[in-house]
Structure 1
């Protein structure tokens, strides 16, 4: 999923030639030059987790750092399945549990020290996006002599990383098939990203039945996260070919349909499978191929909220998205009108934004800062933090202090 030439790809820096600058051709015919590269093997389906030992042994792995979050994987038997598969192929492992949602750099540092002490030669993530993003940072940190946070703040580049493998237990971030990771520094309250071709997982296993125990809250937060990945480029790109717009719209419609189905029947594995695959496709580079001038303002602003107040990422995004869309309507009216008609079957751009906000309300993910326990008094701190993020994303010229404050005010 590495996109080059005029396309900035996943979490790439924004372009001044963007729809937000009043230039571009959304929903048009032109496809920009691009290079598409995604080396990750996806193993999708029932029982695929039983093959993880084979995948590691085929790549010469002798000892792996096995990363996970809560003890849920042990209670539900997944840990035993993984351990047995590893043992059958002669792969030793070292455990690292306790990775939290909104993963933190202190845990990554702990893991790097543990990995060095045990001389592991690969990383295995068993969990959702937080575990996998941490695993990517660990994989890079084990090939870097300095502090791993240097890689997030630009003091050093990622030249290589240990081989990375994943078993997914929650679908949302798309990290299983992309080359990026996001981690929070809890001391400085900065939530930054890293990106490198070295961070593509070698193989990721996606078994929808492993996601049955995902809570209702995290299901709807995940839906918000996936939609945010899709709408960033869709609305901000200077060039967004019709084919790419159609891909985005199809994926959003799939997320909406399957989320509603899973809220009715959490054991609907067919719906869960489509949801999971949509989440992967939303951020593996496919939808941004041939697109240029896109940016990531919703993520830049939300990262400030979750860095400061530790709210679930998807919950923060469902607050930011409608607020940002109301601010952005006039900058891309044709694409907003297309979204309204294609996704929600309504006539005007304004109705489309209202329909998305209403859908978030319907499924129970927040749409107001107050639902996160925040209000007007917290806006200055969020703005100040977000200024660092918009700089990292290359969009500080558009997202000034005043603009970010205006967007957040829409969420009161």
Structure 2
């Protein structure tokens, strides 16, 4: 296990009716004026936005609103938010929604006190040294952004989708999590969230770091919990227990717990970011296509951890034929994704003839000549993985 610093200060307020505490929590963390960031109409239609506003009013907290955040969030909304924050003298971001809303709020939080272009942080030109506080009322268990310091934004000019990790400054100070708010999620959105949280765990699980048994077991146990609860929630969307476990799994998957002390991979996420940037596909659906392809490529290049995964997560019997064990594990992962309504090929994703050369060029332009850590992928390797997803 590697040396590490693990810092996770977020206060999680979890359970039925937790959203009514939002105003009290904002006040507790010293905010005087917040910007409420949200996406489309669902938080309006289901009354959540009105509930949050009422809670802020009762706590005596002033606020302004920024709606219209889209899936695969873009830089134009961040610029709009930064300008409005400065004008309104906001001192806390309050994201009401899922990962796209939270990631946008974090980008605004970093950009407000910065004299330059917030995009400088994403391209490594500058480092975040101060940021507004961020808080969350979560509506979609998927990205885990409610418990992480990570944010992903797409720059419209050039369709460049990049991530930023600043755990010391961009982790939310609190996250309100009521599983009942997820009852009305469409099945496909629920399934995409499941794929996203599984991918967050697997990016940490597939590591070359030795003697990380605790990390391995946390990853495996959380994956098994997700698989079990996914089967329930797809049949019973208003099953509180299943929704609650999935919501907490999404947080655990990405708050750093599962990756403590190990070198993480993230190649599959980077491969998918190009897909969702160029073709505007749902991130979780892109991951359900690319992760099995990545694993399939790994069978011939670094099979051991794939074998362990197949045995411990999918119950594949042990055998001296490591490749057959690994392929069976991948097959069971694909069957699981299919069972909850997710695609496993480009065609099923709605992309009949992907421009693989463009995907590869963009990936390595953004991430360098070598991508990932479990096996460092060259341009040739990346192209082979994209083709395995055909």
Deviates more, 1:228-237 or 1:211-220: 228-237
Stretches of structure 1 that go unaligned for 5 or more consecutive residues are 1-30
- The residue correspondences of 1:153-232 to structure 2 (distance < 5 A) are 153-196=123-166, 197-232=168-203
How far does the alpha carbon of each residue in 1:282-319 deviate from its partner, in whole angstroms, 9 at most, with x for none?
A: 1111111121x322100010000001011000010010
| 1:36 and 2:6 aligned | yes
Pick one of 220, 239, 243 that aligns with 1:268.
Answer: 239
5 Å-filtered alignment, 1:347-366, equals 347=317, 348-366=325-343
Q: CA deviation at 1:240?
A: 5.4
Preserved CA contact (<8 Å) 1:306 1:316: yes
In the TM superposition, what is the alpha-carbon distance from 1:392 to its structure 2 partner?
Answer: 9.5
Give secondary structure in 1 for the equivalent of 2:203. helix
Partner of 1:329: 299
Count residues with an aligned counterpart. 381
Matched, 1:399 2:384: no
Deviations along 1:241-273, whole A, 9 cap, x unmatched? 122111111111111111110110100011000
Alpha-carbon separation, structure 2, partners of 1:257 and 1:328 = 26
Correspondence 1:294-333 to 2 at 5 A: 294-333=264-303
Task: Measure the CA separation in 2 of the matches of 1:49 and 1:358.
Answer: 36
User: Which of residues 372, 388, 395 is equivalent to 2:365?
Assistant: 388
| Alignment RMSD | 1.6
Q: TM-score scaled to structure 2, two decimals? A: 0.94
TM-score (norm 1): 0.90
Aligned to 1:245: 216
Confirm or deny: 8 A CA contact 2:370 2:376 kept in the other structure.
no
Aligned-residue offset at 1:236 = 3.1
Match of 2:322 in 1: none
Deviations 1:179-206 (A, max 9, x none): 1100001111100011211101010011
- What is the distance in 2 between the residues matched to 1:82 and 1:49? 7
Q: Which residue of 2 aligns with 1:8?
A: none
2:63 counterpart SS class: strand
Q: 1:398 to 1:146 in 2, by over 3 A?
A: same
Is 2:316 aligned against 1:346?
yes
